[in-house]
Amino acid sequence: MLELKNLSFTVENEDGSGSLDIIEGLNLTIDDGKFVVITGPNGGGKSTLAKLIMGIEKPTSGQILYNGQDITNMTITERAKLGIGYAFQQPPRFKGLTVRSLLSLAAGKDLPEDECCSYLTRVGLCSMDYLNREVDNSLSGGEVKRIEIATLMARKLNLAIYDEPEAGIDLWSFTMLVDTFKTLAKNETNSVIIISHQERIMQLADEIIVLANGKVQTQGPKDEIFPRLLSEFGSFSRECNLRGEAK
């Protein structure tokens, strides 16, 4: 179980005019075995929240508990040892390191070729074209992103956090990715948190959390929250169309 208690994250404005609350007094509980999608407007604090959970950023105040243990001040490495993993919006590159080596490092053992190929296929990559390629600038942003998602799968995490996994991925590969997340959603022992605006990903969720202005606006079962979001989006679209006709 992941618990966030009165969590806040504040940054100083670049012009020295004061501070800005990115996350403000946030309280949130995510049970084990849940597939959770966090959505909401841009700038609402979604990616920052994911980084706070992973330890990439440190909260200004509040607590982060994982299975009853206070991990607020733990390093990224210490959290990784607890089985927590994170996929960046813009993954790092590793010149001189092959895709197969990266997958083996993630798994903590030398993976056989067929197992490496399985992970790559699940994220929409032709395994034989990528297995021995270096994870460097010769790969596109979308390719590196899919490879990073494959490494998280190879780690067999207890809590996997994906920050907008659909960004920079073509439609065909996105379909493959959705199928992979469908498989993950059926796993009742691991928890998955996905930051996403995509309807097809939200439809896979057990729970949807709407985050805006650094606070949880809504949290609940997908069957309750998703239709409400569709209704709100539809109203917004109709309003925009009417404005266009009025012009």
pLDDT band at 198 (very low <50, low <70, confident <90, very high): confident
Q: For domain 2-246, say whether CATH 3.40.50.300 is its number.
A: yes
Gap between the Cα atoms of 233 and 154, Å rounded: 36
Task: Note the pLDDT of residue 188.
Answer: 59
Tell me the domain boundaries of the chain: 2-246
CA distances from 7 to 44, 53, 95, 237 (A): 14, 10, 37, 34
pLDDT digits (tens, 9 = 90+) for 150-196: 888 888 889 999 988 877 777 777 777 787 777 776 765 688 999 99
**Residues above pLDDT 90, as percent of the chain:** 47
Task: Note the pLDDT of residue 69.
Answer: 96
Pairing of strands 159-163, 191-195: parallel
Task: Note the pLDDT of residue 30.
Answer: 92
Please tell me the pTM assigned to this model: 0.82
Q: Which of 18-22, 34-38, 181-185, 227-231 has the highest mean pLDDT?
A: 34-38
pLDDT digits (tens, 9 = 90+) for 103-155: 999 898 999 999 999 888 888 787 788 888 999 888 887 788 888 888 888 88
Gap between the Cα atoms of 35 and 188, Å rounded: 9
pLDDT band at 243 (very low <50, low <70, confident <90, very high): very low
